[in-house]
Amino acid sequence: VMKSSMIVSGVPSCTFCIPTAWIPENATVVNVATEKSNFDEETLENVPGVTYVPHVGRVTVSALEYNLICLYRSYHKSI
C-alpha cells in the first residue's frame, strides 16, 4: 500500500480502516465500501496531493468486481 499510486478499498466492516500513515503523497484513494469509509477522511486532507473519492455508485462497484474476476481468470489461465 505504501508504494501504491492508487488505493481502492471496499472492506465491508465498520471497524476496518487503512492507516493514513500508509497513504503516499499524490496517491488516488477510492472508497468502495458500503458500510462506511475505510479511510480517515479528516487525516487524509493532511497528505499532500491526495485525490480522495469518498463514494462510488453501485454500477461502478459492479464494474470493479467484474474486472477483478476477469483478472483472476486471466492470471490463473496462464499458469
Residue whose cell numbers read 478499498: 9
Per-residue pLDDT reduced to its tens digit, 7-39 = 999 888 889 999 999 999 999 999 988 778 899
Per-residue pLDDT reduced to its tens digit, 35-72 = 788 999 899 999 999 999 998 888 988 898 899 999 99
CA angle 38, 5, 55 (to 5 degrees): 35
pTM: 0.73
- In whole angstroms, give the CA distance from residue 65 to residue 38: 17
- In whole angstroms, give the CA distance from residue 12 to residue 14: 7
Whether the Cβ atoms of residue 25 and residue 5 lie closer than 8 Å to each other: no
